[in-house]
Chains A and B, each alone.
Chain A
């Protein structure tokens, strides 16, 4: 099968007027009364810390299996408790109060939880370990070191080593990697029971619609691993910074690039993911490129038809706009990407196609010609020939269109799309003989030898993610050492 079958979209609530996507600072906006944290949650948080420290990025080890096995009913409170833990790392030992505020990305209302005195004390102890701050005054004052078992002490040592190297984010980075690994490598664990509808106020929710060939297969709740990972990375403090500032952290940038590329390669779409990435890295040409590609994909028939055919519960909408609206967004993001990196030939190639689809054929042809001049990759040159051919055909430049299609046919002799394009171009020109000759070339392709790699057009909407594995490896490599043994 040439296309991934599943994709996830963030479901906006009609009530929340378009579902504000930006992460808001905890404490702003509407607050709900604090709810008491039930027993057992801090113990689960502790198990989570150990698993995070044991996990080797990219591997499906025992720690990975443990986290992947947690039901969503455990992950949702974990979202809150992990957020509370990371907030506490910065304030361990300080009498900041046992009431914490957490606001899931995209939610209008924040969630307030109140830990008991014992729970909050343990949270502070764990924060001392996770922050590598056992030797600091605040952690001495609460005698944190006396309450750690050998394994937690080892975590504290590893976190300290990281701290001394200038990275105060030992737990946060690794935890984000664990959760993104689970989301990517254990898709079965992403399916969660429960109906799809309005989430409880302030609760983190994720829904997922699975599609095949433009039709909805299933709509269900999804485990909130991506949400936990993003929330954690929002607390990253870059080297030399005393405050969370993930937008200036290279690992966070690499994480978003790699995971967004993976999502597009696997057609596991998540609009919030890239919107948050753009907020953090508004001028990153790669993030802008992937955001544009996502919108271009959303404008394509597989997504548009699936969304139109979906049966959704009352009050739930999928955050996919009309094809033209998505194309206009894609145009803007490609443009911004090219403003930052003018020699980004693949971005220019796709920009040209989007312009053509928007009816800006003259501009499209100019951009496509410019892009082709900077391309060397056979697959990209194939797209260049096809897209330029289409733009020239619309402009009435049939000879130029034919040249484009023929070039693509030469690059991929088993591809059907250039032959269809050549046939249709000839038929439109009134040359039925040439149209028949071109279609005969298609019919003459040996069926038994054809496969899904023959025509790059079939994987155009995932090709932008083709380097995802490399990007993930580069991002994860530094964290494969200093793993808890």
Chain B
């Protein structure tokens, strides 16, 4: 969860260079907390906010916001896609089309990765700036087997954690978990420690997508429950657009414990706004 403040300045460079590992630039002396926040007013993104416009309360202690970035830091977009038995035919085509449209919409500096999961979790394409390679891997993926949604989501989170870039994890599943080894609560614990925003896309059924709901909520993302996968391309693009409209708010925590759960409250001063951000983070990890 905690990252060195120095690292923030290095983010763009790291992202652009495609470095997969942490940079030595991350000092452990000064630690910063990053919070991805979506600020809207009547459903429309609020633009042009500066650090002074934000108020962040960490475990009840108001913090000083050091840095606010908006649409400046390259993205690491990780797709974790359900490739179980049920994803076949039109649904598979629509999923591939959605992934393809999203990949086409990435900026030159952005990176992408593809995790496919059925019962088996595969890194179909590692995190790379070579979007064509990711698109090619997407075209080769096909559905077979049962659903290890929790395992697949964990793998996606870890890819997000493997690079200092700003990570967006999009998890698609048309079912619920039936074969993961990992427990939902353990992966949610990981999500609390990670600087990865998770958006979930689930196909409506009688079963509630509780894990995806919790995962997206804990990371400040959003869950889309769609009736038909024909809408998938628009949904994926909508997620990317929304994510690009988010602010990356950074502060160096003061006056709070160095570990444990930190409840976060992010506000915008002096104006009406709805803010979507993660509800807290696990420090010391």
Q: Which A residues fall within an 8 A CB radius of B?
A: 1-3, 212-215, 301-302, 305, 308-309, 311, 386, 416-417, 420-421, 423-424, 427-428, 430, 432, 435-436, 439, 442-443, 447, 450, 452, 455, 457-458
Contact = CB atoms under 8 A, between A and B. Distances in A.
B203 to A, nearest CB: 11
Given A1-B145, A442-B121, 13 more contacts: A1-B144, A214-B147, A305-B176, A309-B206, A311-B206, A416-B121, A427-B161, A430-B285, A442-B123, A443-B126, A447-B122, A457-B181, A458-B146
B175 A2 contact: no
Contact of B182 (A213, A424, A430, A447): A424
Contact of B175 (A215, A308, A420): A215
B85 A420 contact: no
Contacts of B190: 424, 427-428
Contacts of B155: 420, 439, 442-443
Most chain-B Cβ atoms within 10 A of its Cβ — which of A424, A428, A442?
A424
B205 A309 contact: yes
A431 to B, nearest CB: 9
Given A2-B119, A212-B85, A301-B176, A420 B182 contact: yes
Interface in B181-203: 181-182, 186-187, 189-190, 193
Contact of B177 (A301, A417, A436): A301
Interface residues of B, number: 37
Interface of B: 84-86, 119-123, 126, 144-147, 151, 154-155, 158-159, 161-162, 175-179, 181-182, 186-187, 189-190, 193, 205-207, 284-285
Contacts of B181: 386, 416-417, 420-421, 457
Given A416-B120, A424-B182, A432 B145 contact: no
The 7 residue pairs across chains A and B that have the minimum distance between CB atoms: A417-B181, A430-B285, A443-B123, A214-B178, A439-B158, A309-B206, A302-B178
Contacts of B151: 416-417, 420
Most chain-A Cβ atoms within 10 A of its Cβ — which of B120, B179, B206?
B179
Contacts of B158: 423, 427, 435-436, 439
A309 B207 CA distance: 6
A302 B121 contact: no
B86 A215 contact: yes
Contacts of B86: 212-213, 215
A450 B175 CA distance: 24
A452 B145 CA distance: 9
Given A301-B178, A305-B207, A213 B187 contact: no
B122 A213 contact: no
A455 B120 CA distance: 9
